[in-house]
Structure 1
């Protein structure tokens, strides 16, 4: 069982992953008699697609910086509906279409469908504005609470490949925007995945974000916390998600580059940053 998270940042084209994922599934299915094909769940982000649509609709996206230095999207109701259109709608279905063209029986879902992902809505979020910490309300973001693993296992047992956008359902039945990295970690833990692969627009964790040669290739899981100070921007959330995955029993987490040919194959071969128990 493998969980793959495809980043939604600008510069990431899904074509290479789609073909590679299809080849991996076909290769497993064509293995020795009685061998079970590798099961894969694909989780995707969509920040660039949502920003593009928001601008086209005349609703420029708003972001804020948390006190810990992480940039996040401010998701009021209007922004949430843009996310639904861009991520659960167009982007999700384009990924399903591309996988179907490669012979993969993909099923596109958001976390709302079948209560696949439930979350707790944040009552308020803290942001740093002009050097001051302020409280932002009316935000429709949240934290992952539960994953409907039986629904995913049902789809997998039917030979389907779930493709999940990281919107979730709140306790009040509202749509929520959840961090896709942490959703992928939650899915990996719920399904007992052997590995979780984050494919992004960087080669992995870099000591110097401007220098790809500064890649940190291996991190023992027990020392992961000591590398949080190295991470910058979105990488902080990836390391947090990696820590949650390892704590939940995932044996191996890999952060690798989605912009290369055969990105999944290379990641599973150890290219990128590998975090192992």
Structure 2
């Protein structure tokens, strides 16, 4: 069975077996299918080398604990799975996707009590093309919207309908991303963390239940310190965001990119700014250093 938009033979893993993605099958009674009852993680791999593996696995462990799914693997087991999926990838740069659901059981909102119900573990490696020079220099356009999601956004859960609808708002508006606001305060993008620069200071909403702490959240704070850019984690109002000198977006697939227009108006000078350039250079240096290391 061909899957639109997915290359045949894409390496996958399902419940202990490596197989091509088109051969992977999950029961319709899997709670991930019925309820979105599961969590996931996405690890970017450069030249066969995963970026910030420890941080990704720590977040996976936090998400599993938050939804009370016992981890079916220890850290070394997860590392081995990521490494093998990366090794099987036909290209050296890929995104390794991991998903754990509560498993297959009769349909009931309550957790299954049958000890025979075990978590479903799925993984795959998809080709990854980092943002090219043209996109870096052009920047992104964004739309501000109300954040209508649930109150546990810190869990990287598979039940992403709120994020899906937010992302579609961007598609419908012909822009690259949305900036979500709850009670007038910035939370995050549809699938990204958002950063604001005012008077040379880099700022981001504080981590908590209302946003997912991206792995690039900690990395970007580190890059700012290395570049001598002051950083503050604090609530940011809609007016502050609209009056920013620069707005940035970070995620596994977008790495770090500038947002140059918001709601049709230019952000600052309407071009990528100097703080972005310094952070971008630091990010590129991290990737170059990673590529120079032995592959996993």
Measured against the shorter chain, the TM-score band is under 0.3
Q: TM-score, normalised by structure 2?
A: 0.26
The structure, 1 or 2, with the larger RCO (C-alpha pairs under 8 Å, 6+ apart) is 1
Higher helix share: 1
Larger Rg: 2
